[in-house]
């Protein structure tokens, strides 16, 4: 018997791959502590629409999510955003994102400076120095900020790169490791003989598609991103995989010829245990650390070093008449430096055609980032009032929302500090000595749906290879 602990998209992908590796469905069990699968993929109902309170799409530059969609018969149901152009809120105004950037970093400096009204005149002048400053020397533990600020100055980092790159992790570029989070920037700069970071990035910028041929590299499902989860769960059950929802694994111990999982939860017998030859932990790092405390203490201690950011997602419906002017684009990024509670706004009904409403606009509003948990001190009603007050200024709103719902994610997004990859590699090496245990998920190999699917798939391949050897 093999076990996958955690029914998020990483655990689901791991279960699929174990079947691909020849594991009999009757010899596979998936344990999920919640009453539903999907982890942070979650949709709620508002105004008759399914709106996401977790990720609202997945990147299609890699085939991992589309391959999984094909396996469960959903290839024809994919939908793409009709708009993907976020503005930036700075110094009391909305500004379009500058042209000639990659991850917020200038690539075409001339084009960038001409279109970067979001920066102060001094900030634009400082960005120009990238082409004349000596090449920056980077230590192995460099942060994203260290490289960006040395080339373009603090303002480019705080107003553009931090909300665009740091926002993906709900973190800060002053803390996030360059190699762990933005390796494409590091690799391009290290390999290039140019002292300018902008000129180094020219070689790795994706080519511009011909006019009219642009495809936005994101996708989802009109019935909610959790459609993929539900279809995958149904597929696993139809194959004969045993799925235990509402069941918690309390401890992992050594058993006869393998490992022993102690279960708890509704419908479980006291002290119930199942014997397994191997296990994949597709759970957040703190949960994995707690489970491994008996069998792999050093790995458990290292897992506890991975920090997380807490966030809240509030979905709000406003009458179209509430806006002083119609919404344009797909959303708004709010840099940390300006002190707002709101970190980002997605104009969901503008971004997705299937969320269009005749007389209302649906907004997804994020609050919280690493080092900023102000939202946690507010109840839902108070948080929604604070958000509404900030949105009134940012979006020229003349009245409050017709309805709102808040979903709180504790331990939402892991923080990839410098040497994160080395930390994960050392944890996996120690687990290899402790037994047939693998870890996968957002805490280790990248955040986002594609990275989580790939992480689960690779964990299953490693476990299958170890047991076969």
The continuous run of DSSP H or E covering 121 comes out as helix 121-128
Question: Residue 227 corresponds to which tokens in the numbers above?
Answer: 């459609």
Indicate whether 132 and 180 sit together in one domain. Answer: yes
Which pLDDT score is estimated for 214?
58
Host domain of residue 117: 96-204
Q: What percent of the chain has pLDDT over 90?
A: 85
Reported as a single tens digit per residue, the pLDDT across 224-282 is 999 999 999 999 999 999 999 999 999 998 877 789 999 998 677 777 899 999 999 99
pTM above 0.85, yes or no: yes
pLDDT at 104 over 60: yes
Indicate whether 422 and 403 sit together in one domain. Answer: no
Which pLDDT score is estimated for 208?
61
Indicate whether 228 and 199 sit together in one domain. Answer: no
Query: What is the rounded CA–CA span in Å between residue 63 and residue 349?
Result: 27
pLDDT at 433 over 90: no
Weakest-pLDDT range from 72-76, 111-115, 404-408: 111-115
Reported as a single tens digit per residue, the pLDDT across 26-48 is 999 999 999 999 999 999 999 99
Which pLDDT score is estimated for 209?
54
Decide if 375 is inside a domain: yes
Indicate whether 339 and 463 sit together in one domain. Answer: no
Q: What is the CATH number of the domain that holds 260?
A: 3.50.50.60
Mean per-residue pLDDT for 378-388?
98
Indicate whether 354 and 429 sit together in one domain. Answer: no
Indicate whether 198 and 247 sit together in one domain. Answer: no
Indicate whether 322 and 377 sit together in one domain. Answer: yes
Indicate whether 407 and 342 sit together in one domain. Answer: yes
Last residue of a domain, one of 155, 176, 204: 204
Q: What is the mean pLDDT of the chain?
A: 94
Decide if 89 is inside a domain: no
Q: What percent of the chain has pLDDT over 70?
A: 98
Decide if 216 is inside a domain: no
pLDDT at 56 over 90: yes
Q: What is the CATH number of the domain that holds 188?
A: 1.10.3110.10
Contact (CB, 8 A) for 377 and 386: no
Indicate whether 168 and 116 sit together in one domain. Answer: yes
Contact (CB, 8 A) for 78 and 66: yes
Query: What is the rounded CA–CA span in Å between residue 425 and residue 451?
Result: 16
Residue with tokens 């998936």: 30
Decide if 49 is inside a domain: no
Last residue of a domain, one of 413, 433, 449: 413
Indicate whether 150 and 116 sit together in one domain. Answer: yes
Reported as a single tens digit per residue, the pLDDT across 345-364 is 999 999 999 999 999 999 99
pLDDT at 162 over 60: yes
Indicate whether 294 and 431 sit together in one domain. Answer: yes
**pLDDT grade for 419, boundaries at 50, 70 and 90:** very high
Which pLDDT score is estimated for 216?
83
Identify which has the larger pLDDT, 257 or 375: 375
Decide if 100 is inside a domain: yes
Contact (CB, 8 A) for 182 and 144: yes
Indicate whether 39 and 70 sit together in one domain. Answer: yes
Which pLDDT score is estimated for 434?
79
Decide if 251 is inside a domain: yes
Query: What is the number of structural domains in the chain?
Result: 3
Question: Residue 43 corresponds to which tokens in the numbers above?
Answer: 């949709």
Identify which has the larger pLDDT, 293 or 13: 13
Decide if 377 is inside a domain: yes
Reported as a single tens digit per residue, the pLDDT across 324-346 is 999 999 999 999 999 999 999 99
Which pLDDT score is estimated for 207?
60
Decide if 146 is inside a domain: yes
Burial of 270 (0-12, 13-18, 19+ CB in 10 A): exposed
Which pLDDT score is estimated for 383?
98
Contact (CB, 8 A) for 310 and 409: yes
State the first-to-last Cα distance of the chain, in angstroms, to the nearest integer: 17
């Amino acid at each position: 018997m093999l076990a996958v602990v955690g029914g998020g998209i990483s655990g689901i992908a791991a279960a699929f791959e174990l079947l691909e590796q020849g594991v009999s469905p009757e010899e596979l069990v998936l344990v999920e502590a919640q009453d539903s699968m999907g982890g942070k993929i979650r949709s709620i109902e508002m105004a008759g629409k399914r709106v996401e309170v977790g990720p609202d799409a997945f990147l299609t530059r890699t085939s991992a999510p589309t391959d999984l969609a094909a396996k469960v018969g959903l290839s024809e149901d994919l939908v793409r955003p009709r708009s993907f152009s976020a503005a930036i809120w700075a110094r009391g105004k909305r500004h379009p994102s500058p042209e000639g950037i990659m991850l917020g970093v200038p690539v075409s400096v001339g084009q960038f400076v001409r279109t970067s009204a979001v920066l102060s005149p001094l900030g634009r002048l400082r960005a120009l120095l990238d082409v004349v400053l000596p090449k920056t020397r980077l230590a192995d533990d460099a942060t994203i900020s260290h490289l960006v600020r040395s080339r373009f100055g603090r303002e480019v980092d705080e107003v553009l790169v931090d909300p665009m790159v740091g926002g993906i992790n709900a973190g800060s570029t002053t803390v996030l490791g360059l190699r762990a989070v933005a390796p494409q920037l590091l690799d391009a700069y290290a390999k290039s003989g140019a002292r300018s970071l902008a000129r180094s990035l020219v070689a790795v910028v994706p080519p511009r598609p011909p006019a009219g041929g642009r495809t936005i590299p994101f996708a989802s499902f009109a019935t909610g991103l959790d459609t993929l989860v539900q279809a995958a769960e149904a597929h696993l059950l139809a194959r004969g995989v045993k799925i235990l929802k509402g069941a918690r694994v309390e401890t992992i111990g050594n058993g006869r010829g393998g490992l022993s999982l102690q279960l708890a939860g509704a419908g479980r017998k006291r002290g119930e245990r199942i014997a397994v030859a191997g296990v994949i932990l597709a759970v957040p790092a703190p949960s994995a650390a707690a489970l491994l405390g008996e069998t792999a203490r050093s790995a458990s201690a290292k897992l506890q070093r991975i920090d997380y950011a807490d966030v809240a997602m509030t979905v709000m419906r406003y009458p179209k008449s509430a806006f002083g002017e119609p919404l344009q684009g797909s959303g708004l990024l709010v840099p940390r430096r300006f002190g707002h509670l709101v970190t980002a706004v997605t104009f969901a009904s503008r971004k997705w055609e299937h969320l269009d409403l005749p007389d209302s606009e649906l907004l997804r509003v994020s609050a919280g980032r690493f080092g900023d948990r102000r939202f946690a001190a507010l109840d839902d009603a108070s948080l929604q009032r604070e958000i509404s007050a900030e949105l009134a200024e940012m979006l020229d709103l003349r009245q409050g929302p017709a309805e709102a719902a808040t979903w709180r994610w504790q331990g939402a997004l892991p923080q990839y500090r410098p040497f994160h990859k080395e930390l994960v590699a050392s944890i996996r090496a120690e687990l290899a000595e402790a037994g047939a245990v693998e870890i996968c998920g957002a805490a280790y190999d990248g955040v986002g749906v594609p990275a989580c699917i790939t992480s689960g798939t690779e964990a299953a391949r490693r476990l299958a290879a170890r047991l076969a050897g």
